[in-house]
Amino acid sequence: MSIDMLTIPAQCVTQSRIEELDYNNIEFGKIFSDHMLVADYKDGAWQNPQILPYGPMDLSPATSALHYGQAIFEGMKAYRDANGDVLLFRPLDNFNRLNLSAERMCMPALPEDIFMQGLEQLLKLDAAWVPPTAGCALYLRPFMFATDNFIGVRPSDTYRFIIFSCPVGAYYGQPLKVAIEPNYVRSAEGGAGFAKAAGNYGAALLPARKMQEKGYHQLIWTDAKEHKYIEESGTMNVMFVMDGKLVTPPVSTTILKGITRNSVLTLARDFGYTVEERKVSVDEIVAAHKAGKLQEAFGTGTAATIAQIATIHYNGEDMDLPAIEEREISNRISAELDKIKTGQSPDPHNWVQRISL
C-alpha cells in the first residue's frame, strides 16, 4: 500500500513485525499490529488524524484521564473470508456506541469519517495481521481519553482518539463457571453502566478476583437496589434459555448495549425462536434449574462472542447446566454468526463491511 492512496496521512513502518505472529497460537491481546490511528481534539475540534507505527506515547503525569477517568473504549473484530478478503463486523454500531459513551463521560463526539476511514485505512495497511485461522480475528480497539495536563476536576479541554489492533484467538478457553454476586455492584440506575467507560471495568476487578479465588471464572452481576435481578456476566451481556425461550435482561442505563447481544437476539428471531427481553430474577433462574427448565446460559460480547456457561453458583449451591453439545439455540446462533462474519452465509442485516484491499 503506498502512502498516497490514503486520505489520512500515514507514516508506515519500514519493517513489519508480522513474523512475531504465530497464526496457530494466538493469545488474546498480547501482540499488536504494525500501525495505529491517532487524532487529537483541541480548540473545540478534532484534528490531525494520522496513521503512525504502533508504539508508546509520551504522557504527562498530570494527564487528566489517569486521575478522573474520562476514558472510554470500543472493541470490534475483522475476519477473513475464504478469498482472503477482510470483513469488518458492524463498525457503525461501535461508532455510535463510542459517541454514546463519550456523551455520558462529558467528552466530545468523534466525527464518523475519522472512525470509519481510520478503520478502513488501518485494515488496508495491516491486512496481513487479520488471521485466516478459524476462531481467530483481528480485534480493533478504538479508545478516547482526556489529555489536559491539569489536576482540577472538570471536563478536559483536550482529548486523544486512537485505534490499534491485535490478532486474537478465543477469549475464554473453556465453558465458564460463574457465581451470582450478592454484594458488589457493577452499575446503578442513573450511573454510567451503559457506557463503555474504563472505570466500569476497573471497579469490577476486585469482585471478579474474589470470585476467582473461590474457584469461579467470572461473576453474574445483580441489580444495585436489591441484588434480585440479573444484569450482566463479567464483561458480557448474559442470556438464558428457559423452557425453550431465549431470555435476557433489557438494555437500560445499567446494562451495556451489546452489539453481539443485538446480533444474537436478531438471529434468534430470524430463526423463529421466542425471545424475551425482560427482567430476569435470580429466583427465576434457581426455580427453572430446579424444574429442569434451565437449558442454556451464555455470555455475549465482542471479545468472547458467545461464551458458554457450564455452572452457575448461588447461595452455596452450584447449578450445573446441560452439556454444551445439547444446547440447540446458542450453538445454532453461534455457528450462524461465525458464518456471517466470515462471509460463508448471506448477510441479511448488512452487518458486514468488506474492506477492499
Site map 209..238 versus ligand COI, x via CB under 6 A: --------------------------x---
Does residue 156 bind ligand COI (CB under 6 A)?
Answer: no
How many of the chain's residues bind ligand COI (CB under 6 A)? 5
Residue (41 or 54) nearer to ligand COI, CB: 54
CB contact burial 274-310 (16+ within 10 A = b; e otherwise): ebeeeebebebbbebbeeeebbbbbbbbbbbbbbbbb
End-to-end CA distance of the chain: 9
Per the CB < 8 A criterion, the answer to whether 307 and 262 are in contact is no
Q: Is 29 exposed, middle or buried (0-12, 13-18, 19+ CB in 10 A)?
A: middle
Residue (122 or 208) nearer to ligand COI, CB: 208
Minimum Å distance from CB 303 to ligand COI? 3
Helical H segments across the chain, by residue range: 64-68, 91-104, 112-125, 198-202, 205-213, 259-270, 282-290, 328-341
Residue (175 or 234) nearer to ligand COI, CB: 234
Chain centre distance of CA 244? 27
Minimum Å distance from CB 28 to ligand COI? 7
Residue (99 or 300) nearer to ligand COI, CB: 300
Compute how many other C-beta atoms are within 10 angstroms of the C-beta atom of residue 83: 6
Minimum Å distance from CB 110 to ligand COI? 18
Residues 6+ apart with CB under 8 A from 214: 179
Residue (49 or 167) nearer to ligand COI, CB: 167
Compute how many other C-beta atoms are within 10 angstroms of the C-beta atom of residue 192: 18
Residue (10 or 208) nearer to ligand COI, CB: 208
Residues 6+ apart with CB under 8 A from 34: 12, 13, 16, 17, 18, 53, 54, 125, 126, 129
Minimum Å distance from CB 186 to ligand COI? 12
Minimum Å distance from CB 197 to ligand COI? 11
Site map 61..90 versus ligand COI, x via CB under 6 A: --------------x---------------
Minimum Å distance from CB 201 to ligand COI? 7
Residue (136 or 303) nearer to ligand COI, CB: 303
Residue (77 or 124) nearer to ligand COI, CB: 77
Question: 112-125 and 91-104 helices cross at what angle (nearest 10)?
Answer: 130
Minimum Å distance from CB 10 to ligand COI? 26
The residue at minimum Cβ distance from ligand COI is: 75
Per the CB < 8 A criterion, the answer to whether 251 and 279 are in contact is no
Minimum Å distance from CB 44 to ligand COI? 30
Identify the residue whose cell numbers are 457506557: 195
Site map 291..330 versus ligand COI, x via CB under 6 A: ----------xxx---------------------------
DSSP helix/strand/coil, 320? strand
Q: What are the residues binding ligand COI (CB under 6 A)?
A: 75, 235, 301-303
